[in-house]
Amino acid sequence: MFRGGADDGFHEAIGDSIALAVTPDYLKEIGLIDTVPPAEADIPLQLRTALDKIAFLPFALLIDKWRWQVFSGQIKPADYNKAWWALREQYQGVAPPVARSEADFDPGAKYHIAGNVPYARYFLAAIYQFQFYKAMCAASGYQGALNRCTFYGSRAAGDKLKTMLEAGQSQPAQATLKEMTGTDHLDAEPMQEYFRPLYVWLKQQNEINHAQTGWKSE
C-alpha cells in the first residue's frame, strides 16, 4: 500500500508537477541560459503548454464518460460510434473529417479503450499537478507569478513531496491531498492561476480581433 499513489491521478501528476518547475529562473540558476526573459516572453510557452494540458481536459473526461455509459447500458451497441462522436462534439467541439457509421468503431482507435485501461486518472492528474506544484512553491517561500516559480534546491518543498509519497495508499486520498495542498478536493484554481498571463493575453487578442469564441453544431 505504500508503493502506489493515493489514487490513480497522483501517480500521473507527480512527475508533471516537478516538470512545471523547469522555469527560466531554474535554467539560469543551473547555467543553461544567461538572462531570464521578460514576462511577455512567457506567452508562447504558455500557449504551447495550454494546448497540451488544457485542451486535453475535455478529451480526458469524455473517454471514460463514454466507457461508463457503455458499461451502464446507457449507450447501446448499435450506437457506440454515434455516441462517441456526440461526446466529442459536446466536449471538444470537433466532428469527424468524413462520414462515419456504426460499421466504424472509432473509440477503439484509442488504446486505453481497446485495452480496457481507465482514463480518468489522466483527467485528475492534469489538475492535480498544478495543485502539487503550487503547494511546493508555497513551501519553498516563492512569491510571484505562479508560472515563474521554481522550487529547485528547496528542502521544504522536497519534504512536502516526500511526505506525500511516503503516505502511498495508507490513508484516503483526500487526507493525503489535504496534507499536501491544504484542500481535500480537486481544485482547478492553481491551474487557472498558472495560465492567468495567457488568459489575459487571449482576452485582449479576442477583443482586438473581434473574435467569436466557442462552437456550434451544423
pLDDT in tens, 95-108: 999 999 999 999 99
Range of the domain at 188: 8-51+122-209
- Each residue of 163-187: pLDDT tens digit? 999 999 999 999 999 999 999 999 9
Same domain, 187 and 107: no
21 and 126 belong to one structural domain: yes
Question: Could you tell me how many residues make up the chain?
Answer: 218
Measured between alpha carbons, how far is residue 75 from residues 48, 71, 112, 191 in Å?
A: 35, 8, 18, 33
If we measure between CA atoms, which residue out of 124, 123, 116 comes closest to residue 173?
124
Grid coordinates representing 59? 478529451
**Shared-domain flag, residues 24 and 75:** no
Q: Which of 70, 101, 120 is the last residue of a domain?
A: 120
Provide the residue type at 68 as one letter: W
- pTM value is 0.92
For residue 218, pLDDT beyond 60:
no
Residue 17 and residue 81 in one domain: no
**How does residue 216 score in pLDDT terms, banded at 50, 70 and 90?**
low
Residues 13 and 60 in one domain: no
Average pLDDT of the chain is 94
Average confidence (pLDDT) over 6-17: 93
**Residue 68 and residue 166 in one domain:** no
Domain end call among 120, 139, 166: 120
Is the residue at 77 inside a domain?
yes
Q: Domain for residue 217, yes or no?
A: no
pLDDT category of residue 211 using cuts at 50, 70 and 90: confident
State the burial class of residue 207 (Cβ atoms within 10 Å of its Cβ: 0-12, 13-18, 19+).
Answer: exposed
Alpha-carbon Rg for the chain in angstroms: 20
How far is residue 142's CA from residue 115's CA, in Å, rounded to a whole number? Answer: 42
Are 47 and 126 members of one domain?
yes
Residue environment code for 82-105, b if the CB has 16+ CB neighbours within 10 A, otherwise e: ebbbebbbeeeeeeeeeeeeeebe
pLDDT tens by residue, 43-98: 999 999 999 999 999 999 999 999 999 999 999 999 999 999 999 999 999 999 99
Q: Which of 72, 87, 120 is the last residue of a domain?
A: 120
Angle ∠(187,190,117) on CA atoms, nearest 5: 55
In a domain, 3, yes or no: no
pLDDT interval class at 213 (50, 70, 90): confident
* Residues 193, 181 contacting (CB under 8 angstroms): no
d(CA 139, CA 68): 38
Same domain flag for 129 and 185:
yes
pLDDT at 47: 96
